[in-house]
Chain A
């Protein structure tokens, strides 16, 4: 588990998501990919968005990035409302500060551009005053920092390994000197050795530069290693928010318990550490017609009468540990 570093203060909110909704109209009906989600991102932290496919985590990140605009609600970045601002309308400083690393480096790097061209584009746009040699100097520094060498400079993406490609994508994002990095499943398409290389590089960058990460993943091992806080999402809603130790030590929402108990384990010791009792069952329902009340009730082993009638609010049960579940909502 990764200790929050000193610069991280809980009242320094960098990004604020308020009642964010993002619907998609399809021939089958309206898909409520993100349905009323609110959370804060604190400066210098790694906030993980965790959930199955279809939980809305990637859509949330895409709204923050500007790939989609919000259907309703808002996203504030340093008091600027960016949720309704598509990427192409965003000012350059905003694009400099919020950068992204995509899931699959094989498609996130232009196959026809060399590593040098890819990173240089980023430097050229955000530091137009630098000349060719200064740019090159900066590029070499960056490459060295990220753990690549001069030999990689004129290679095309297809001539690089998966981990190296992802490092290049990371270097491109860092070239602008961002404050905020959206990591969209940065390791899920890589093999294990490359994964650990990326993760340790991410940790190093955060330690050196105090970057804020939003980490989208379904890999709980990755989450445990590098994040400070976790948002567990289910069908477009946040069901639980807590610091990483609380989530792994004392998960409150049945869905979180289910996710944790479905981590594959090898040794018996490992499996003892995981919560018991909640077996994974069923599949995530359609976001076009989500269940009434609590959306998880169709798969929940502790389902009660109230669950289908009322939607549980996200409530702080323990300090900084929020959960949206009727099991923990009795005293209201």
Chain B
């Protein structure tokens, strides 16, 4: 008896090994693509910068209310790599703080949209043709029928224009797209023989949804989330750019673009910083998403 349980412990240990082996293989598939690797490095670098913004930026005080008229409109040089703005603040510093804000925004929006959108889509897709389907999907259709930017703008206009409400707006307009995607995948998978086999075994509906179906759609969902993160940044920036999102002096990339735009082209460097920031951030997410797609497609 003790002999067999020793064997069992050995077998269970082997399970962990196999899991590690699979992760290794996934990593191999990811790093095969130079672009995906670039995306990951870029993403990590931006994230580290955003997290430790106070330490990595030359003038952390310039992120918020700070005025130094002596240094205003200073073109790029070694002290101010991206120049200074109309209040004498270091633009590089503000862009890096802008990254932090963008990451916070993506983090919050994704951590709401991803679980909510996925669960709703799973339930609606699994009970396709029954009331949860109609309830969820018609509700989603209401949000989908309004152009995203218009919806976000009207929400921000109704509520007070600030960064929190901008996030609420993006969340509200974004979840139906997840729900729809998960819905269509779930309603296809729910009639797969392996799902029928699970039903024949007596697996409960909730377990079928989360243990049989979810693992099979997680790959595309995570890939979409990563690719969409870039889009969240764009929409968030657009809202801020139009003055309905983050308000100055908050170092938001979109707000900065709209603030600095008026000084173009005379003080051309001002606009370069935040636009470049947005571009780099979006590129990082897109490359990362492509890499993830590669990983999941290889399975």
Contacts and interface: CB of A to CB of B under 8 A. Distances in A.
Contacts of A116: 15
A104 B197 CA distance: 12
Contacts of A102: 193, 196-197
B151 to A, nearest CB: 35
Contacts of A153: 11, 14-15
A172 interface: yes
Contacts of A103: 193
B45 interface: no
Contacts of B14: 150, 153-154
Band of interface residues on B: 20 to 34
B77 interface: no
Interface string B270-299: 000000000000000000000000000001
Nearest to A102: B193
Q: By DSSP majority rule, is chain A's interface helix, strand, loop, or mixed?
A: helix
Contacts of B19: 154
B18 interface: yes
Band of interface residues on A: 35 or more
Interface in A156-183: 158, 169, 172, 176
Interface string B1-22: 0001100100110110011000
B193 A107 contact: yes
A125 B194 contact: no
B197 A88 contact: no
A95 B201 contact: yes
B32 interface: no
Contacts of B211: 121
Given A107-B193, A107-B194, A154 B18 contact: yes
A96 B202 contact: yes
Contact of B12 (A88, A111, A112, A136): A136
A87 B193 contact: no
A110 B197 CA distance: 9
Contact of B197 (A108, A114, A133): A108
B8 A136 contact: yes
A300 B238 CA distance: 74
A95 B202 contact: yes
B26 to A, nearest CB: 12
B201 A172 contact: yes
B181 interface: no
B129 interface: no
Contacts of B201: 95, 99, 121-122, 125-126, 172, 176
Contact of B200 (A95, A133, A140): A95
A1 B44 CA distance: 67
Interface of B: 4-5, 8, 11-12, 14-15, 18-19, 192-194, 196-203, 205, 211-212, 215-216, 299
Given A65-B200, A95-B201, A110-B198, 17 more contacts: A87-B196, A87-B199, A99-B201, A100-B200, A102-B193, A108-B193, A108-B196, A111-B216, A114-B18, A121-B198, A122-B201, A125-B203, A132-B12, A136-B11, A150-B11, A158-B299, A169-B197
Interface of A: 65-67, 87-88, 92, 95-96, 98-100, 102-104, 107-114, 116, 121-122, 125-126, 132-133, 136-137, 140, 150, 153-155, 158, 169, 172, 176
Query: Which 9 A-B residue pairings sit nearest by Cβ, starting from the closest?
Result: A108-B193, A112-B215, A154-B18, A95-B202, A102-B193, A110-B194, A107-B193, A136-B8, A87-B199
